[in-house]
Structure 1
Amino acid sequence: MTENNESHVFDPVTPDSPETAIPEVPEAQATGCPVAHGRAPHPTQGGGNRQWWPDRLNLKILAKNPAVANPLGEEFDYAAAFRALDLPAVKRDIAEVLTTSQDWWPADFGNYGPLMIRMAWHSAGTYRISDGRGGAGAGQQRFAPLNSWPDNGNLDKARRLLWPVKKKYGQSLSWADLLILTGNVALETMGFKTFGFAGGREDVWESEEDVYWGPETTWLDDERYTGDRELENPLGAVQMGLIYVNPEGPNGNPDPIAAARDIRETFRRMAMNDEETV
Structure 2
Amino acid sequence: MDNEMMTTSAAMAARRINNSLSGKIMWLPSRNSIPSNLLEPVLENGAYNHPVVIMSNNPSPEGLVEVFLITSFGTRSIDEAFDHKWKHWLHYTPIEPAVHPEVEPLRLIEGSQRLEKQSYVNSRQAHMVQLAALRPHRGSGPGADSIIEQASLKSLKLTSHFIDLFNPRTPKRLRDYKMWEMDHKWRKGEDQAQPLPSGSVVTNPYFPAFSWLAAETPSSQATISQATSTPIYNAPTYNAPTYNAPTYNTHTYDTQAYSGYHQTVSNWRATQHQHRDISSLASWRPSTSAH
Larger fraction in strand? 2
TM-score by length of 2: 0.21
Larger fraction in helix? 1
